[in-house]
Amino acid sequence: MKSKRIGKMTVKLENKPTIISTGSVVGPKEGEGPLNQYFDLVLTDDLYGQKTWELAESKMVETAMKKAVNKAGKKLTDVNYLFAGDLINQLFPASFAARELEIPFFGIYGACSTMSEGISLASMIVDGGFADLALAGTSSHYCTAERQFRFPLELGNQKPMTAQWTVTGAGSVLIASEGNGPKVKYITTGKVIDKGIDDGNNMGAAMAPAAIDTIYSYFEDTKDDPNSFDLIATGDLGVVGKKITEDLLKERGIDISNVYVDCGIEMFDLEKQDVHCGGSGCGCSATVFAGYIYDKLVKNEFKKVMLVSTGALLSPTSTLQKQTIPCIAHAVVIVNN
Amino acid sequence: MKSKRIGKMTVKLENKPTIISTGSVVGPKEGEGPLNQYFDLVLTDDLYGQKTWELAESKMVETAMKKAVNKAGKKLTDVNYLFAGDLINQLFPASFAARELEIPFFGIYGACSTMSEGISLASMIVDGGFADLALAGTSSHYCTAERQFRFPLELGNQKPMTAQWTVTGAGSVLIASEGNGPKVKYITTGKVIDKGIDDGNNMGAAMAPAAIDTIYSYFEDTKDDPNSFDLIATGDLGVVGKKITEDLLKERGIDISNVYVDCGIEMFDLEKQDVHCGGSGCGCSATVFAGYIYDKLVKNEFKKVMLVSTGALLSPTSTLQKQTIPCIAHAVVIVNN
């Protein structure tokens, strides 16, 4: 079969895998942010009726997946594959959601890059003719992530201003071989990049080089024009990482400043909501994409969008072993024609 | 594009993605087992010259990947995608290996099913024309797994006889769009199955229902004959899980007893090596496949093999929250023509 590769790191999808619907669930704090109207469900209680935060996060994933399927008028049994993962050890939320959904399941892990990793794999699987319908999605929860990666919430630790706030949210996309909706057209899959940052409270600076490498590779591979995009959205670089990304890409001859946003900055009102550099977590780019960006694509207010979810592949164990932070970013380009 | 689906859970690959080489690295204890001659490298020291077991496991992954690439006469830069994951939180070993390999990276997690998950995804990506070369692999390490999932090794805890021994090993496959070698022909992707087992020292019983569901689905989808296989190998069900699988499949009309082995049982001399029910861990089916099974395929002593790696998707957190163990199994069918 003829290769669909363009340049070193990019593939072009010829069979128009289509995002026919999305699902999004966010926590109370996210619901108080500027994107409130775009989410399917805003929880009033971040335990979501469960006994633990991990089980709540799992139920959020399950709900986001079911919403996408229901909104498309499909049934869970119509879906051929489920791609999901999250930040929590052994993908507790995704695995337990997959148990309830009963769809053949590929667990994936890209830290906060998981949303675009899932869209990439689901789109290729649909484009290649292996599935008619594939779900992809991810989640994060402030309370599960904080206690696993940092400190017990009860300690009330303060954070430096470079830190970010893990989004409580789950987002999903349903990708189909046929149907109306925005199409996934290009996929640029990132390499692991580590420039030596070891400060877990400055993830934006750690992840920016990975975002830069992936975005630069896309433009090098395709010779596309940044200004042909309505939006280029990184996942959760926050204020510090966004500025690094924009500046260093400009130095390398790629000026994305006219169209560039970061989902972590869009999610919250940074001044009023006390989230320091912005939102983070797998659920950040997942819900901003499944909610806000997808809505604008469907209304044709956006015609061409790049989502670049960004992930920091550290673990508490690697940090204790004094390792630096390996990072990754995956880009998907979604168009309306 | 015409769907390649057969039945509910299976796809047939038409473009003959070929496993052109493999790589395998195991620890000292595994090297003392009956499969010694089939591994590329047997370590004399399970720290592999590193400061921690996690860094040793990461170096094992890196070595197994490089061996597969070198043996095929390729370069790392020729490889389009790397699929890897492991049992350790946030995929510490795989992520850090990916940093060294500098190949576009999809992190995956299926617990001990990760080898066949990786082969499934890499094969579809190659079959669909998205890559000319894709690496897939996984690892486990007795010392990293024990301290994360159970107890500090220094405690010297005893285990019940239903428990298994986590294999120290890393295995990889290099899958190509062209070349000589065994071909990946069918893929049956498992659902998460949970029959209510909550004993982390009886993983074989927990995982058997997932293996049964996936193997049964393959035969239901394809109407294939179990006796047309030279080998059907589950990942790490051990003595207890293997018997459950064989018996319950027979009750459902599928008799695999003539050709059925379990990689966990093959890896060790169960009587002499004191491993209770057998080997386990991602590295178990990964190294048994990349070493022993692949060798027999290349020599045409096996012409048709099914690998069904099996995973238990529990986490220490889910266990503490009194949850049962969700399990999964993915099947790949590999043929010599």
Residue A65 has pLDDT above 50, yes or no: yes
Q: Do A94 and A242 fall into the same domain?
A: no
Q: Do B157 and B272 fall into the same domain?
A: no
Residue with more model confidence, B156 or B37: B37
With beta carbons under 8 A apart, name residues in chain B contacting A216. Answer: none
Give the model's pLDDT for residue A2.
Answer: 54
Contact B80 A5 (CB under 8 A): yes
Give the model's pLDDT for residue A256.
Answer: 98
Residue A337 has pLDDT above 80, yes or no: no
Which candidate in A192, A193, A195, A322 is best for mutational testing of the B interface (most B CBs within 10 A)? A192
Distance CA A28, CA A12 (A): 39
Question: What would the pLDDT profile of A129-144 be if each residue is shown by its tens digit?
Answer: 999 999 999 999 999 9
Contact A90 B99 (CB under 8 A): no
Residue A228 covered by a domain: yes
Using the structure block, give the residue that is written with the tokens 């209304």.
A299
Q: Do A166 and A228 fall into the same domain?
A: no
Residue A7 covered by a domain: no
Nearest Cα neighbor of A291 from A40, A18, A98, A75 is A40
Give the model's pLDDT for residue B314.
Answer: 96
Overall size of chain A counted in residues: 337
Range of the structural domain that residue B101 is part of: 5-176
Give the model's pLDDT for residue B2.
Answer: 54
With beta carbons under 8 A apart, name residues in chain B contacting A4. Answer: 128-130
Residue A108: φ, ψ to 5° = -130, 155
Q: Do B244 and B330 fall into the same domain?
A: yes
Whether residue A121 lies within 8 A of chain B, CB to CB, comes out as yes
Chain A with chain B: Cβ pairs closer than 8 A: 199
Q: Do B172 and B198 fall into the same domain?
A: no
Interface of A with B in 249-308 (CB under 8 A): none
Residue A3 covered by a domain: no
Give the model's pLDDT for residue B157.
Answer: 87
Band of pLDDT at residue B3, cut at 50, 70 and 90: low
Band of pLDDT at residue A118, cut at 50, 70 and 90: very high
From A157, A176, A195, the end of a domain falls on A176
Query: For the residues B130-157, what does the mean pLDDT come to?
Result: 95
Q: Do B232 and B322 fall into the same domain?
A: yes
Q: Do A166 and A195 fall into the same domain?
A: no
The alpha helices in chain B, defined as continuous H runs, are 28-31, 53-71, 92-101, 114-127, 142-149, 203-222, 238-251, 263-267, 282-288, 294-298, 316-320
Residue B1 has pLDDT above 60, yes or no: no
Please say whether the beta carbons of A139 and A170 come within 8 A. Answer: yes
Question: What would the pLDDT profile of A278-302 be if each residue is shown by its tens digit?
Answer: 999 999 999 999 999 999 999 999 9
Residue B199 has pLDDT above 50, yes or no: yes
Please say whether the beta carbons of A30 and A169 come within 8 A. Answer: yes
Distance CA A297, CA B148 (A): 44
Give how far A53 is from chain B: nearest CA, Å: 11
Q: Do A159 and A217 fall into the same domain?
A: no
Whether residue A88 lies within 8 A of chain B, CB to CB, comes out as yes
Interface of B with A in 161-190 (CB under 8 A): 177, 189-190
Residue A196 has pLDDT above 80, yes or no: yes
Amino acid, single-letter form, for residue A178: E
Query: For the residues B275-303, what does the mean pLDDT come to?
Result: 98
Query: For the residues A117-122, what does the mean pLDDT come to?
Result: 98
Contact B109 A107 (CB under 8 A): yes
Q: Show the tokens assigned to B64.
A: 């197994």
Q: Using alpha carbons only, give the angle A83, A84, A90 rounded to the nearest 5 degrees.
A: 130
State the CATH number of the domain containing residue B9.
3.40.47.40
Give how far B102 is from chain A: nearest CA, Å: 6
Distance CA B12, CA B223 (A): 13
Distance CA A226, CA B50 (A): 44
Q: Do A153 and A92 fall into the same domain?
A: yes
Counting Cβ atoms within 10 Å, is residue B255 exposed (0-12), middle (13-18) or buried (19+)? middle
Residue of chain A whose alpha carbon sits nearest to that of B97? A192
Whether residue B131 lies within 8 A of chain A, CB to CB, comes out as yes
Give the model's pLDDT for residue A1.
Answer: 44
Contact A85 B109 (CB under 8 A): yes
Contact B192 A131 (CB under 8 A): no
With beta carbons under 8 A apart, name residues in chain A contacting B96. Answer: 313, 318, 323, 326
Q: Do A168 and A240 fall into the same domain?
A: no
Extended strands (E) in chain A: 5-6, 10-12, 18-26, 41-42, 81-86, 105-107, 133-140, 165-166, 169-176, 183-188, 231-234, 260-262, 279-280, 304-312, 327-335
Contact A124 B127 (CB under 8 A): no
Helix H or strand E encompassing B83: strand B81-86
Contact A102 B191 (CB under 8 A): yes
Residue A107 covered by a domain: yes
Question: What would the pLDDT profile of A3-28 be if each residue is shown by its tens digit?
Answer: 599 999 999 999 999 999 999 999 99
* B321 closest CB neighbour out of A55, A177, A315: A55
Whether residue B92 lies within 8 A of chain A, CB to CB, comes out as yes
With beta carbons under 8 A apart, name residues in chain A contacting B15. Answer: 1
From B176, B205, B235, the end of a domain falls on B176
Question: What would the pLDDT profile of A248-275 be if each residue is shown by its tens digit?
Answer: 999 999 999 999 999 999 999 999 999 9
Distance CA B54, CA B37 (A): 26
Count of the separate structural domains present in chain A: 2
Residue A6 covered by a domain: no
Q: Do B166 and B270 fall into the same domain?
A: no
Q: Do B74 and B206 fall into the same domain?
A: no
Residue of chain A whose alpha carbon sits nearest to that of B80? A9
Q: Show the tokens assigned to A19.
A: 């995002």
Residue B337 has pLDDT above 80, yes or no: no
Contact B177 A3 (CB under 8 A): yes
Distance CA A25, CA B300 (A): 52
Distance linking the first and last C-alpha atoms of chain A: 25
Whether residue B111 lies within 8 A of chain A, CB to CB, comes out as yes
Distance CA A123, CA A95 (A): 21
Please say whether the beta carbons of B188 and B9 come within 8 A. Answer: yes
With beta carbons under 8 A apart, name residues in chain A contacting B190. Answer: 104-105
Counting Cβ atoms within 10 Å, is residue B204 exposed (0-12), middle (13-18) or buried (19+)? buried
* B106 closest CB neighbour out of A11, A117, A326: A117
From B132, B160, B176, the end of a domain falls on B176
